Amino acid sequence: GQNIDQPTEMTATEGAIVQINCTYQTSGFNGLFWYQQHAGEAPTFLSYNVLDGLEEKGRFSSFLSRSKGYSYLLLKELQMKDSASYLCAVTRRGYNKLIFGAGTRLAVHP
Amino acid sequence: KAGVTQTPRYLIKTRGQQVTLSCSPISGHRSVSWYQQTPGQGLQFLFEYFSETQRNKGNFPGRFSGRQFSNSRSEMNVSTLELGDSALYLCASSLRTGGENEQYFGPGTRLTVT
């Protein structure tokens, strides 16, 4: 079966750093995606990890540990516009199907 | 390059009716996947089409069906609509199939069933 867990809500202060965790139990795990979704809009791609380690892309970084079934998304120098839902999603080998977690709603306040 | 487009953006239907939603992928992308998003269930996979063939299917009843045309455009059909089908329907395109490809989402079709 598939099980993906991430915190429901988080709050952080503008300019700070926040880490959003995601744990998964997925048979045939292939890779892990992070998407950002603002209210009323479509998800937008942030990152993709298939190997262990950290991938850095500007203010956003994503980490994966395949042996631990664990990933995190790190957002630095938070801005008000980063207030959104962050969705963790996994794929299984050979399948293009994204299996999503419930999402983490991040609120950034001044 | 133009992004993924979906039509219509909003739709109101009555229980028992049927509906067809359309998705045009990014130029050159051959895989189109459909997802349903509701507050209670989150984002759930409906099906994927690649080269006009259904590759994967999620756990949805047979009332949900789809197809893909030779130009990679895809349609999704829901027959005998139920109140619980009210949701945001998102389509996503990727270059290839296989689970290692970034999927780019369209703006979605907001379906309301009354």
Query: pLDDT, tens digit, for every residue of B70-114?
Result: 999 999 999 999 999 999 999 999 998 877 788 999 999 999 999
Indicate yes or no: CB of A100 within 8 angstroms of CB of B105.
Answer: no
- Give Cα B2 distance to the centre of its chain: 18
Distances (CA, A) of B113 to A51, A80, B12, B18, B109: 43, 34, 6, 10, 13
Q: What are the pLDDT digits (tens) for A62-78?
A: 999 999 999 999 999 99
Please determine, for residue A2, whether its predicted confidence score (pLDDT) is greater than 80: no
Amino acid, res. B85: D
Identify the band that residue B1 occupies on the pLDDT scale cut at 50, 70 and 90: low
- For chain A, the residues whose C-beta falls within 8 A of a C-beta of chain B are 30-31, 33, 35, 41-45, 48, 50, 87, 89, 91-103
Residues 6+ apart with CB under 8 A from B41: none
- For chain B, the residues whose C-beta falls within 8 A of a C-beta of chain A are 31, 33, 35, 42-45, 48, 50, 55-56, 58, 90, 92, 94, 97-108
- pLDDT confidence of residue A1: 58
Burial tier of A42 (Cβ tally within 10 Å: 0-12, 13-18, 19+): buried
What is the mean pLDDT of the segment spanning B18-38?
A: 96
Q: Which residue has the higher pLDDT, B2 or B43?
A: B43
